[in-house]
Amino acid sequence: MRSTAWCAAALKELGRGGFGRVIEVELPQSNSLWIRRSEPRRYALKLQLKQHPDQAASEVLALQRADHPFIVHLVHAFSFSRFFALLLELCPTDLNRLLCETADGGRSLGLESQVAARYMGQAYLALTHLHRNEKIVFRDVKPENILISDQDQAKLTDFGLAKVVTSAERMQMCGTMGFLPPELLSVEGSFINSNEGAGSPDGRRNPGSRSSAGWDPFKADAYSFGVTLQVALLGEDGARKKTIRRKGPMMLPMNLTEADNAELLAQLRENGRLSPDAYALLVDHLLPHHPARRSRLTDAEVLNHPFFLQELGCEDLEKHLLPECYQKS
């Protein structure tokens, strides 16, 4: 990131979190070498206080490495006196906001299964790209970190907690309460970004660590993805909606035991609210509490699972969703 006298017109706040806020900006007309006149003039500007430099640096490095159609595009990075600033492609909404929209009767019932399969399939391909090609674990999969572009495509965002996995180092435990896999909750001093504001005033706790030889960080992403999929499919039938100060309505997990959650999903399957394929993907592969029983997202039994193929009417998820230039030859 470099220092600059760059300025832009702020239009509105898009969101805020533990490390800063995101605002919509419009760039002035200029002869800048890094913005062509044919490019959009409106962007999302993420401002992060310099008291968290590691988070900003981690996000920039991850976004620079991850070229993928379902990952938000980093346009430029700046350094100001008080903030690090990331200029990102502008997406008008996110999955959480869509899920919090109410249907008849005042309840939020999730997305239609085909829509959920498409958005979550796109997020899934972004995550498997990170896992397989970049060896990056995302560590904060949740609805508000899945943006929806003006082309109606899901885009993974907020890489502040993303981490390149190596066999030699100890991994920091972090994520958002409710979406964290059970194996991380037992780590004393874990870094937890709590949507409920628990713990310290900003919902953060001191980092802990565990040897990478004793657990699988990629399976942690699989669990968080499974929780997000359940929320996307079921809304308030499989989650709870709560208004969080300074954030607004949030769709949050129920924090049930594995057995109780499986029983809930079985009931919803029996009454036709959840398809058998979705139930099998969640209960058998993504949401087991013990990592040994949970799949990686890149495992053959998850890649091209019948849930995605049946809902999207295709035979290969990557060929169906990815632009041809990104497909494996």
Fold of the domain built from segment(s) 94-326:
Transferase(Phosphotransferase); domain 1 (1.10.510)
Q: How confident is the model at residue 57 (pLDDT cuts 50, 70, 90)?
A: confident
87-133 pLDDT tens trace: 999 999 999 999 998 766 788 999 999 999 999 999 999 999 999 99
* Measured distance CA(56)–CA(30) in Å, rounded: 27
For residue 146, pLDDT over 70 is answered with yes
Q: Of 3.30.200.20, 3.30.365.10, 3.30.1490.20, 3.30.450.40, which CATH number belongs to 2-89?
A: 3.30.200.20
Q: Looking at the chain, which runs of residues are DSSP E strands? A: 2-3, 9-17, 20-26, 42-49, 74-79, 83-89, 93-94, 136-137, 146-148, 154-156, 163-164, 170-172, 174-176, 191-193, 209-211, 240-244, 248-252
> Would you say 108 and 99 are in contact if contact means Cβ atoms under 8 Å apart?
yes
- What's the chain's length in residues? 329
User: Which pLDDT belongs to residue 205?
Assistant: 39
Beta strand 2-3 pairing with 74-79: parallel
Q: Is 140 a catalytic residue?
A: yes
User: Which pLDDT belongs to residue 113?
Assistant: 97
User: Which pLDDT belongs to residue 184?
Assistant: 82
For residue 15, pLDDT over 70 is answered with yes
User: Which pLDDT belongs to residue 197?
Assistant: 41
Catalytic, out of 94, 140, 221, 237: 140
Residue span(s) of the chain under CATH 1.10.510.10 come to 94-326
The model carries a pTM of 0.87
Residue span(s) of the chain under CATH 3.30.200.20 come to 2-89
- Which residue, among 312, 235, 240, 246, has the nearest Cα to 274 in the 3D structure? 235
> Would you say 304 and 310 are in contact if contact means Cβ atoms under 8 Å apart?
no
For residue 201, pLDDT over 70 is answered with no
Structure tokens belonging to residue 317: 């998820």
